[in-house]
Structure 1
Amino acid sequence: MKKEQVLNKLVKYLVAENREIEVKDIPSDYMKKRKLLRALMNIRDAEPIDSDILELHDELLSEETKEKNPVDPYKLPTAYEVFKGTKISFPEKLVLWQGDITSIAADVIVNAANSKLLGCFVPMHRCIDNAIHSAAGIELRLECNEIMQKQGFDEPTGDAKITNAYNLPSKYVLHTVGPIIYDKLSEDDRRLLASCYTSCLNKASEYEDIKTIAFCCISTGEFRFPKNIASQIALNTICNWLKTNPDRFHRIIFNVFTREDYNEYANLLR
């Protein structure tokens, strides 16, 4: 079935089941229609879905992932190669990469989640939580909901959970809740952010097939953690963890989205 036919069926289904927002006119333009599908996925509760529709949904999203030409983490230059003479520990394992985390074929990627752990429900929001759930698909929210129903309480800040990655090029997604900065940065905020990185590394190390891990910039977006301090905490925490687990991972990637974030890490890695 052609992509537009699949898209039409998916939009029609999600519009019909939606109880929150009335959609009067479905756009004819493909990209506008695709944005509508994403918005409908974003607001959709973690409820069962028709298996035939889910199959079409996976067909569309997996094809879109292939079209991104997923990035091979082993082909990215390491800190040892880029920052000649760097004094940091384990430069042969560390990678700084600016790009879309949903397009990297690392074994696991890290999602900066909220405490409900169900993804972002704001239509088309620009946060990484929304981007990852939108690219992975409806199954990701369903699995997260199953985990949270069993847990029975919100995810604590600094902890991490792991799920399948579904239509992403990675195998798994690590979900961690970073600290939210409301006023002045505290020592507890620093400790909790470090705990996010440690929790993710500990959880990933439980899986033998995880050799590469891509970290986003946890808490520096919507949660307002200062970027310069967050990058220091991320690098120090990961290097300290590797000192006691030197053989565990082949590549640990600092994935940044903006040039500002890139420069923060680059200054440290130099």
Structure 2
Amino acid sequence: MNENIIIKTGEITNENVCAIVDAANSSLMGGGGVDGAIHRAGGPAILEACKKIRQTQYPDGLPTGEAVATTAGNLPAKYVIHTVGPVYHNCGNRCDSLLAAAYENSLKQAMKLGCKDVAFPAISTGIYGYPKEAAARIAYKTVKAFLSKGHDIKVYFVFHSNENKQFFEKVVGQ
């Protein structure tokens, strides 16, 4: 077990960490699930920052696997890192690498921002349909590999229910 990886139940919008990760859609304009919750709780500053990113960097939308950071608005976190996970039935043989990229690029953004802690939801396992077991293995393996390179950052996996938390712990063997 890695002491820099914490698995917990909670509401990601309440996490008092440097950055929380948003399982966003490519439009960055808010949506359902975690994305909608973050936009609602964080207020209009997040949407305004996302609009600027769309105008200046990603006019066609944020590509799957990429990550960008904005203010966290009214949230206790300082930043929101928006990443787009793959839609499972559309990603073919690239699903695993795209999901891993979403986690790794989010961690790289956190490091670039000087963060010492970051909180992740389960990316792509909701409406995007990624099988939870496979997604859990990829998430854990990617984060563990990133930390093994000497990066000093505490990573929280925050699940909305105890059932999902326990499922993740079982899958990753913790």
Equivalent residue of 1:264, what SS?
A: helix
Scaled by the length of structure 1, the TM-score of the pair is 0.61
Task: State which of 164, 167, 174 in structure 2 corresponds to 1:264.
Answer: 167
* Residue aligning to 1:237: 142
Scaled by the length of structure 2, the TM-score of the pair is 0.94
Aligned pairs for 1:34-183 (under 5 A) are 88=1, 91-120=2-31, 125=32, 127-151=33-57, 152-182=59-89
Offset of 1:233 from its aligned partner? 0.3
The answer to whether the 8 Å contact 2:103/2:139 transfers is yes
The answer to whether the 8 Å contact 2:44/2:73 transfers is no
Structure 1, unmatched stretches of 5+, are: 1-87
Give the number of equivalent residue pairs. 172
* Structure 2 residue identity aligned to 1:92: E
* Structure 1 residue identity aligned to 2:141: N
Identity of aligned residues (%): 35
Q: Which has the higher strand share?
A: 2
Structure 1 residue 255 corresponds to structure 2 residue 158: yes
Give the structure with higher Rg (CA).
1
Q: Cα deviation per residue 1:200-225 (whole Å; 9 max; x = unaligned)?
A: 011111122x1110001000001010
Equivalent residue of 2:146, what SS?
A: helix
Q: Cα deviation per residue 1:16-69 (whole Å; 9 max; x = unaligned)?
A: xxxxxxxxxxxxxxxxxxxxxxxxxxxxxxxxxxxxxxxxxxxxxxxxxxxxxx
4+ residue segments displaced more than 2 Å: none
Q: Distance in 2 between matches of 1:149 and 1:247?
A: 32
* Residue aligning to 2:113: 207
Offset of 1:265 from its aligned partner? 1.8
Offset of 1:247 from its aligned partner? 4.1
The answer to whether the 8 Å contact 2:87/2:128 transfers is yes
* Residue aligning to 1:224: 129
Q: Distance in 2 between matches of 1:202 and 1:130?
A: 24
Structure 2, unmatched stretches of 5+, are: none
